[in-house]
Amino acid sequence: MLGPNGLNAPIVAGDDDYAVFGVWRATSAGAQRIWSQRSTVSAFNNGVSLSHYNDGSTNFWGNQAEIAPFTQTWTKPFQLGSWKISQLNLLAQDNDDQQVFDETSTNNPVISNTYNSGSGQGVRNLADESNSLGARNTPTEEAFIGEMTEIIVYDAAVLTPLTRQQVFSYLALKYGISKTGDYFASNGTTKFWDSTANTAFRFSVFGLGQDDNSGLLMSSSNSVETGTGNGTGQSGLGNIVLSAPSALSNLEFLMIGNNNAALAEQATDVPATADPAVRRFTREWKVQHTGTVGTVTLTFDFNGLSTTGTIGNVTHFRLMVDEDGDGDFTTGTIRYQQPSSFSGSVATFSNLILNTNEVFTIVTNAVNLPLPVSWKSFDAKVIANDVRLSWSVDNNADASRYEIEHSVDGKNFEKVGTVSNSASVKQYSYTHLGLTGGKHYYRLLQIDLDGKSVYSKVVDANIKASDFFVRALSNPVRNSYAEIEVRASKAADATVELWSVSGVRIQTYQKSIVAGTNRVRVDMTRAAAGNYILKVRVKDVTETIQLIKL
């Protein structure tokens, strides 16, 4: 990277104040530069840099800001190989010339230093200095050794706390790096992680989200403290990956953080009705859900962890959710979800609902815990202006009923029907009648005999938009008239035709319909028993249904 006169240099001649944000991980000891603006000669001259340094002890010290000829004292230690988010503010001369923030201190600088021209050191002048990425002033001098994933440069200092939190929040969510303070979206008002409300769960914070204004879409994520960039877990750290949100849209987020308790088993703080042999992890996770992300997939890696349950056996484990969010699993409503599968040491919980403020943990020996129904299939089929839902289940001996929930936006669902469960029946169906054109979303809520519940996945069906639709109210026809319903968006004249299946038109007549619901009687007195086609045409649109005359 060249500058200030080089091609695409972010800092141009005469810029004496700016801000640099960097996401980096050093993997080797020694003095190394993340960002520098210095001349090409190796000397203490008018320049500035963001760097880290090995002070010769067992610790490495991070985030050096320098304006030569002064070198700022090293700040706090950091762990070699850990990910950092750093910000350098270069300010007006003689007034806190430099500030450095990191993910552990986003409100107050960890360095604040003044270069005083009155001290005889000269006047700062960056007009002729070059921009360097990963080096001091030549490519080999104090070269950075490690990984640098993103550098953001502003041509002015970032001074307001809210603006700084927005940038840190963007980078923290994008790379799964926990930071202190609240998390804000690019609009400055959407707070998608409340550090005060969630102070006990401030560890390994990460999540899913979409922020169109900043071009951010996180549909799969894990914390770098427990996993890696590709989602692989680190041994013994209980890596969680969130993915596959069913209804994620702009300014919606699903975040979790843990309480840093041990990933060790305990027999306490479980529902009073639980078998004495039930075990759970001590660690708990809390959810903050902004908007409606929908269902998600959660995976948990048991690699390096000791459990009473047999890893690989889905019946031995549960995700246990405390719905009132107080973290006390002996009170309130508790729901369970069994893993849908295991792959090696990784358990997958599919179609999971996580509501805001809920707290969950992992049950590691699920002896005699309620076994939620296993969803084998769930499909939606459009039939004219109706949607037929079909589903099949297993392990439904403890189920009481299935509640059908409908939504037109995939986010806000309401109950539209109920189907009773029978332990001997594995296949069920429900038809949602008389729908308008457009996309329709459905999910099932299975409720057990003891009141516990679990959601299915979300399915959708797309009904062709039309100014009207037709359905039969009496089919098969048992007397001389067929009753049909015609719904129209506005008043119109309709042509009604009755045809035989062999293509012979039996009768035709005109019918005036009003906006809304119309009931029409079709005379089938002269029709013999058999199958018929009824066509209703309004202008150039024709709806067709089949009738059976007994």
179-211 residue pLDDT tens: 999 999 999 999 999 999 999 999 999 999 999
Taking 50 as the threshold, does the pLDDT of residue 13 lie above it? no
Q: Alpha carbon of 193 to those of 197, 290, 373: distances in Å?
A: 9, 9, 33
The structural domains of the chain, ordered by start, are: 18-159 (2.60.120.200), 163-365 (no CATH), 374-451 (2.60.40.10), 468-549 (2.60.40.2550)
Q: What is the pLDDT at residue 368?
A: 80
Q: Where are the alpha helices (DSSP H) in 367-477?
A: none
SS (H, E, C) 165-200: HHHHHHHHHHHCCCCCCCEECCCCCCEEECCCCCHH
- How far apart are alpha carbons 95 and 306 in whole angstroms? 55
Q: What is the pLDDT at residue 63?
A: 46
CB 317 within 8 A of CB 309: yes
Classify residue 416 as exposed, middle or buried by CB count within 10 Å of its CB (0-12, 13-18, 19+): middle
Name the residue with tokens 């948990």.
300
Q: Which two tokens stand for residue 218?
A: 């996180």
Closest CA to 375 of 319, 459, 455: 455
Q: What is the pLDDT at residue 166?
A: 96
Classify residue 497 as exposed, middle or buried by CB count within 10 Å of its CB (0-12, 13-18, 19+): middle
95-146 residue pLDDT tens: 456 778 889 888 887 766 655 444 434 444 554 567 788 887 777 888 899 9
Q: What is the pLDDT at residue 427?
A: 93
Q: Which of 163-172, 347-356, 527-536 has the highest mean pLDDT?
A: 163-172
CA dihedral over 268, 269, 273, 274, signed as positive or negative: negative
CB 408 within 8 A of CB 460: no
CB 541 within 8 A of CB 502: no
Number of H helices, E strands in the chain: 1, 42
